[in-house]
Structure 1
Amino acid sequence: MTEQLWSSIERKCFHLLQQTKTRATLLQIHAFILRNALETNVNLLTKFISTCTSIPLSASHESLALLRHARQVFDKRPQRDDSFLCNCMIKAHVGMRQFDESFTLYRDLRRNTCFVPNSYTFVVLAKSCGSNMAIWEGQEIHSHVVKTGFCSNLYVLTALLDMHSKFGKTGSARTLFDEMSERSKVSWTALVCGYARSGDMINARKLFDEMPEKDSAIYNAMIYGYAKLGDIGPARDLFEEMTDKNVVSWTSMIFACCHSGNVLSARSLFDAMPEKNLISWNTMICGYCQNKQPHEALKLFHEMQATTLLEPNEVTIVSILLAIADLGTLDLGCWVHQFAQRKRFDGLVKIRTALIDMYAKCGEVKKSKRVFDETPEKEISTWNALINGFAVNGHGEEALELFLEMQSQNIKPNEITMLGVLSACNHSGLVEEGKRWYKAIEGFGLIPQIEHYGCMVDLLGRAGCLEEAEKLIENMPCKANGTILSSFLSACSYFKDVARAKKTLKSAAKLEPGNDGNYISVRNLYAAERRWSDAEEIKRLMRKSGVNKEVGCSVIEIDGTIREFVSGDGLYPNWDSVDSTLQRLQKHMKGDIT
C-alpha cells in the first residue's frame, strides 16, 4: 500500500507518529490504530515500531518497556515476511544493545517465515556483531551474505570489512578490501581504523598514504593509533598536518599526550582548544588521574563546574572518584556519591565499583561494603574492588571470606582478584593462607604475573622468611623489577640481614639508580649495627649517583579544602600553630601530658 492510496485516517495516524514525543501519547496512538483496524498497514505498523524505540526517555527501564511493547505488536502480526518491517524490529533490538535478541529474531525469521534478508539486514547485523565482538555470529552472517549473493554490494562488503576489523582480523578485512571492485571512503577508513586499532601502524600508515581522499575522521583514527603505542611524534605531525581540525582532533591529540605521559603538553593543547565538549574535559581529567596527578584532576573538575554548563557524565564521575580515592578526600567523595544518585548514575556497575573503591581507600570499609551489598548485578570488577578494599584496610579475613563467597557463586577469579587475595594475606600477615592461594593461581587457569610474585616476596619478607623470598626471586620466570627488589631490601634491613641487603642493593641500584629509599634503607641498617664507615660509604654512593632524599609530603582534607604539607616547610601559613600542635601531640602520645 503506497502513501498516496492511504485513507485520511491512516495519513493522520502517520502524522501523529511523526509528532509524538511521549510514551503516553504513543500508547494512545496504538489504541487508535487497533480501534480503527489499521494494523494491517505494514508501513504504518513499521513506523509505530520505529517510533517506540526512538522516543528519548529519561529512564532506561521505560525505553525497554516500550521496546517490549513493540516486540509484542510485531509477534502478534500473522504475516512477518515484510523485509522493511522485520529489519525495523531487528534494528530496534540492536539500538537498545540487545544483540542476542536481534540475532535470535533474525534466525527465527529465516527458519519460520518467508522473510528474505536484504542488504540493509546484513549491514545492521554486521555492525551489531562488530560492536559486540560476536565473532561466531559474524562468521555466520558473512556466510549468509555469500549464499544470498550480496558479495558485490558495496554497503554490505564495507560493513563486513568493518566487522572483521573490529574483531582484530585485519587479514580477513584486507582480503575483502582487495576483492572490492568499488571502494568508498568508508571502506578505506574502516580498514585503516582496523589496522590502527590493532596497533599495526605500519600497514595503517601505508594505507593512509594511499587514500585518495582523507578527512578529519581518518586523521583522528591515526592519531589515536599512534597514541595507544605512546608514539607521540607521528601523532603530532599528523595533527599539525590537518587543515580542518575539529574538537575530536584536538581531543585525540590530548589523549596522545596524556597516554605518553606528557601531561604539560596535553594541558597546553587543552587550553588552546577553540571549543571544548564533555569528552575533551573527561580526557584531560582522566589524563591527570592516569599520570598520578589527582590534585590537578580535581582542580580541572571544579573549573569545569564553575566555567561551563556541561553536566558531568558517568565517565567524569568514575575519573573523579579515582582521584578522590588517591587523595582520600572523603567529604568530596560523599558529595560525588550524592550527585551520582541525583543523576541516577549510581545504578551503573562501573559507578558502583568506583564508589566501593573510593570508600575503601578513604578508610570507610563499612560504606564500601554497603554499596557492594546494594549492587544487584555484580561484575568481577565489583568483587575485586571490595576484596582489595578489605585488603588495604587490613581486613584480611573478610577479604578471604568474600573471595570464597565469590567462588560459591561460580564467578571465576581473574588476575586482579588473585592479586587482591594475596594483598589481603600480606596486609594481615596470613603467611600460610598466602602460600595456599599463590599455589592455587594456576589451578584457576591463570598465569602468575610479576605483581603476584611481588606480593608474595613482600609477604614472605615481612614474615622474616628471607631465604624463601630470595629463592622465589631467583626462580621467577621474569626478572625482578625495582619494586620487588626494594620490598625485599626493606625486609632484609628490618631483620638486620646485612649480607642479603648489601647484595640486593647492588641489583636494585642498577634498575633504579635514583631511588633514594634503597640507599637509605641500607644506610639505616649500617647505622643500627654501628658500622659507621659503611654508612658513610652509602652516603658517598648517593652523592656520586646524584641521589637526593625526597622530601616527605602529606595531604589532608579540611572543610572540603585539600591541604598539602611538606616536611620542613617553615614558610607554610600558620606554621607556628601547626608546629606547636604537633609538639603537644607528641608529648601527649609519650604520656608527658594528659
Structure 2
Amino acid sequence: MHGLYKQAKLQAVTRAAFTSIRFFLSQATFMRSHRDSYDYTYLLQHCIGTKSIKQVHAQIIIGGFEQNPFVATKLVGKYTECSDSNMVDARKVFDCLWDRDVFMWNMVIQGYANLGPFVEALNVYVAMRGSGVSANRYTYPFVLKACGAMKDRRKGQVIHGQVVKSGFDSDVFVGNALVAFYAKCQEVETSRRVFDGIPQKDIVTWNSMISGYTVNGYADEALVLFHAMLKDETIRGPDSATLVGVLPACVQEAATQEGLWIHSYIIKSGMEVDAALGSGLISMYANCGRLKSAQDVFDRISDKNIVVWNAMIRCYGMHGHADEALKMFSELVEIGLRPDSVIFLCLLSTCSHAGKVAKGWELFERMGDYGIEKNDQHYACMVDLLGRAGFLGEAVEFIKTMPVRAGKDVYGALLGACRIHNNIELAEEVAGKLFVMDPDNAGRYIILAKMYEDVGRWEDAATMRKTLGEKKIRKPFGCSSIEVDCVRHTFGVEDESHPFTEQIFDTLERLDRIMEKSQ
C-alpha cells in the first residue's frame, strides 16, 4: 500500500507540473515580450522528466534566452537531474554556451562524476583549466569522486598535487573528498594521513574514514576511530551515515556491545531506520544469533528494498533455517521485487548446508528467468551442494559441463566435499589443480595432509607439510580479542606486540599460580 500511495502521489505531482507548463506555454503568443529569465527558471524548477524539460528548452531558444547564464545553469542542472542517467542533453546545452563560469563547469563535472562516463569528468576538468577558469573548493571533490569511481590512483594523485598547489589542501570539503578517494583506491594508510592532516574535521570527515576502514577490511580500526569520534566534543553525535559505515565493522569483529549500543542510540535519538541502516542492523543481529531481533528490525522498515530482503534471507540461511529463508524468497517475488545474484547465492548456500539438493537445482535453473548471469560463486555453491550430499560424481560432471572455466572456488568446494566423504583419489586430483590455481593457500595442503593421516599415509602427509615449509606458505594465525574501557585489544598465538605485554604475561603467571594453589 505504501508503494501504491507513493506512485499515486508522484503521478499527481507530474500531472500538476505538466498542467502548469502547458498553461504557461499556451500564453506564448501574447506574453513573449514580457517574459524574463525568472519565468523560465520557475518553469524548469517544476519540470518532472526529460519531456517537460525539452518543451521549456524549446521556448527558451525561441525567446532568445539560451545564452542567459542564469537560465542555462538551471537548464543544465535540470537535465543532469532528470535525464535518466544520461548527460547527452546537459552536455549539448553546455557546449553551446559562449561564456561559462566556474559554477557551470562544476555542474557538468559533477554530472559526469555522478552519472558517468567518469572519464568525461576529468576531460571537462582539463578543458576548464585550459580555458583559464580556476578550480574552486567544489571542483576538486567532483573530480576526485570520478577518480575514485574509476579507482584511478595515478590520476587522483595528480589532482591531489594540484589541490596542494592551489592551497585547498587544508579545506575540509576537499580533504573529505581526498579521504574517500584514497579509501576507494585501497590506499588506507594514505587516506588516514589525509584524515589526520585535516585541521577542522566535520562529521563527513569522520564518516569517510570510518567507512574507508570498514570497506577495506580494517574493522578493528573502524571501531577504534568510531569510539574516538564519540569523544570528540566538536561533533554532536553520529548520524545515519556514520552508523551505516560502522555497522559492517561490528559484524566483522562480532562486536555485539557496539552493535547493541548503536541500535539503542538510534531509538533514543528518534533516527529513522531506512533500508541502508536497517540492513546493517539485521546483519549485526544475524551475526550474533539474535534472529528475533533481526526480524523485528525487518518488520519495522517501511520501504524495504532488495538489500533489506537479502540481509534477512541471509540471516535465516546462515543459522540453518532453510524453510524460513525460502519462504521469504517466495514473499519477495510475490510483492514484485526482482531478486539479484546475491540473493540466489545466499539461497544456494542455504540449500547446500540444509541438504536440499532438488530445491537448490530448481533455484539455480530459475536464475535465467530473472536475467541473472551465473558467476563462479554460483557454480561453486552448486558443486558444494552436490558434494556435501555425497554426489561427487555428479559434481565432477557438473564442472565439466560448465560454460565457463572452473576457478579456485569451484575446485575448493569439491576438495571440501572430498574431505567430508573421504574420497582421497579425487582429492589428490583436485588438489593438484588447486596447487596451480591457488598456490599460496595453505588450507589446500593441510586438507590433503589430514586426509593422508586419516588413512595412515604418514609419508605423504609429511611431504605435504614439508612442502608448506619449503614454499614458505603459512596458514593465517587465529587471534582473540577483548574489550577494555571501550578499546578492543587483539592477541595472536605467542603474540608479544602489545605495548602492555609484560603486564599481561605477569598477570597470566599470577593467575596460573593461584589456580595451582586452589587445586
Shorter-chain TM-score: which interval? 0.7 to 0.9
Asked whether the equivalents of residues 376 and 409 of structure 2 are also in contact (C-alpha less than 8 Å), the reply is no
Whose RCO is larger (CA < 8 A, sep 6+)? 2
SS in 2 for 1:200: helix
**Could you tell which deviates more after superposition, 215-224 or 502-511?**
502-511
Matched, 1:304 2:229: yes
Written as runs of structure 1 = structure 2, the 5 A alignment for 1:354-369 is 354-369=280-295
Distance 1:270 1:393, change over 3 A: same
SS at match of 2:138: helix
Distance 1:377-1:225 versus aligned 2 partners, 3 A rule: closer
Q: Distance in 1 between matches of 2:203 and 2:78?
A: 28
Matches for 1:130-145 after TM superposition, within 5 Å? 137-145=49-57
What percent identity do the matched residue pairs reach? 27
Tell me, in whole angstroms, the C-alpha distance in 2 between the residues paired with 1:109 and 1:171.
26
Whether 1:175 and 2:92 are equivalent positions in the alignment is yes
1:109 to 20, 33, 42: 20
Opposite residue 275 of structure 2, the aligned amino acid is V
- Decide which moves more: 236-245 or 109-118: 109-118
Instruction: Give the one of 244, 252, 257 matched to 2:167.
Output: 244
Q: 1:453-508: CA deviations, max 9, x gaps?
A: 23222222222322333344444444444333323222223323334333333433
The one-letter code of the counterpart of 2:119 is: D
CA separation of 1:522 and 1:163: change in aligned 2, threshold 3 A: farther
SS at match of 1:441: helix
The answer on 1:492 being equivalent to 2:418 is yes
Residue 152 of structure 2: aligned partner: 231
**Distance of 1:141 and 1:313 partners within structure 2:** 35
**1:323 and 2:238 correspond:** no
Question: Contact 1:195–1:203 (CA<8 Å) still a contact in 2?
Answer: no
| Distance in 2, Cα, partners of 1:247 & 1:508 | 48
Residues 526, 155 of structure 1: alpha-carbon distance in 2 compared, 3 angstrom cutoff: farther
Q: 2-side partners of 1:162 and 1:503: how far apart? A: 61
Structure 2 partner of 1:210: 130
What is the letter of the counterpart of residue 299 of structure 1? V
CA contact (8 A) 2:180 2:209 kept: yes
1:372 maps onto 2:289 in alignment: no
Query: Match for 1:155: what amino acid?
Result: F
Note if 1:274 corresponds to 2:274. no
Return the offset for 1:296: 0.9
Q: Matched residue of 2:336: which SS? A: coil
1:55-204 aligned at under 5 Å gives the runs 102-111=13-22, 119-120=37-38, 123=41, 137-148=49-60, 149=62, 150-165=65-80, 167-197=84-114, 198=116, 199-200=118-119, 203-204=123-124
Q: Residue in 1 aligned with 2:218?
A: 293
Instruction: Give 3-state SS (helix, strand or coil) of 1:491's partner.
Output: helix
**AA partner of residue 234 (structure 1):** K
Cα deviation for residue 122 of structure 1 reads 5.3
Q: Secondary structure of 2:373's match?
A: coil
Contact 1:127–1:162 (Cα < 8 Å) also in 2: no
CA-CA distance at 1:561 after TM superposition: 6.1
- Per the TM alignment, residue 406 of structure 1 is displaced from its structure 2 partner at its CA by 2.3
Which position in structure 2 is the counterpart of 1:459? 385
SS of 2:99's equivalent? coil
Matching residue's letter, 1:412: R
Which structure's CA Rg is the greater one?
1
The residue matched to 1:447 in structure 2 has which SS?
Answer: coil
Structure 2 Cα separation of the partners of residues 564 and 443 of structure 1: 47
Give, in whole Å, the separation in 2 of the partners of 1:115 and 1:545: 83
Aligned residues: 480
1:411 aligns with 2:337: yes
Change (3 A) 1:578 1:348: farther
Which residue in 1 is equivalent to 2:448? 522
Q: Which moved more, 1:271-280 or 1:520-529?
A: 520-529
For 1:401 and 1:248, locate their aligned partners in 2 and report how far apart those are by CA, in whole Å. Answer: 46
Equivalent-residue separation in structure 2 for 1:251 and 1:519 (angstroms): 45
User: Partner amino acid for 1:240?
Assistant: G
1:247 Cα deviation after fit: 0.9
Q: Is the 8 A contact 1:192 1:208 kept in 2?
A: no
- Identify the range of structure 1 (155-164 vs 390-399) with the bigger mean alpha-carbon deviation: 155-164
Q: Is the 8 A contact 2:351 2:357 kept in 1?
A: yes
Say which SS state the counterpart of residue 501 (structure 1) adopts.
helix
Q: CA deviation at 1:224?
A: 1.9
Question: For residues 461 and 511 of structure 2, what CA distance do their matches in structure 1 show?
Answer: 33
Q: Any gaps of 5 or more consecutive residues in structure 2?
A: 1-8, 29-34
Per-residue CA deviation, residues 278-301 of structure 1 (Å, 9 max, x unaligned), is 001000000111011111111101
**CA spacing shift, 1:439–1:528, aligned 2, 3 Å:** same
Name the counterpart of 1:283: 208
| Equivalent position to 1:395, from 309, 321, 332 | 321
Cα deviations across residues 130-161 of structure 1 (Å, max 9, x unaligned)? xxxx7xx1243123311453544333333443
**AA at the equivalent of 1:497:** N
1:566 counterpart (486, 492, 495): 492
In the other structure, the counterpart of 2:3 is none
Question: Partner of 2:422: helix, strand, or coil?
Answer: coil
SS in 1 for 2:440: coil
Measure, in 2, the Cα distance between the counterparts of 1:575 and 1:479: 52
Query: Any conservation in 1 of the 2:207–2:241 contact (CA below 8 Å)?
Result: yes
Instruction: Tell me how far apart the structure 1 counterparts of residues 514 and 294 of structure 2 sit (CA, whole Å).
Output: 32
Over 3 Å counting, the alpha-carbon distance change for 1:491 and 1:181 in structure 2 is same
- Match status 1:342 vs 2:259: no
Q: Is the 8 A contact 1:253 1:266 kept in 2?
A: yes
1:171 to partner: Cα distance:
4.1
* TM-score (ref. length: structure 1): 0.73
Q: 1:308–1:488: structure 2 CA closer, same or farther, 3 Å change rule?
A: farther
Aligned-pair CA distance for 1:389: 0.6
What are the Cα deviations for residues 242-301 of structure 1, in whole angstroms up to 9, with x where unaligned? 223211211111112111112111111111112211001000000111011111111101
Q: What residue is the counterpart of 2:188 in the other structure?
A: 263
1:126: Cα distance to partner?
5.6
Q: Deviations over 1:9-28 (max 9, x none)?
A: xxxxxxxxxxxxxxxxxxxx
| Letter aligned with residue 182 of structure 2 | C
Q: Deviations over 1:172-201 (max 9, x none)?
A: 443333222332222322333334442225
Secondary structure in 1 matching 2:200? coil
Q: Is the CA contact (8 Å cut-off) linking 1:352 and 1:371 kept in structure 2?
A: yes
In structure 1, how many angstroms separate the alpha carbons of the residues matched to 2:512 and 2:38? 74
Superposed CA offset, 1:435-463 (max 9, x none): 11111111133222333223222222222
Question: Relative to 1, partners in 2 of residues 1:403 and 1:300: Cα closer, same or farther, differing over 3 Å?
Answer: same
Q: Is the 8 A contact 2:440 2:473 kept in 1?
A: yes
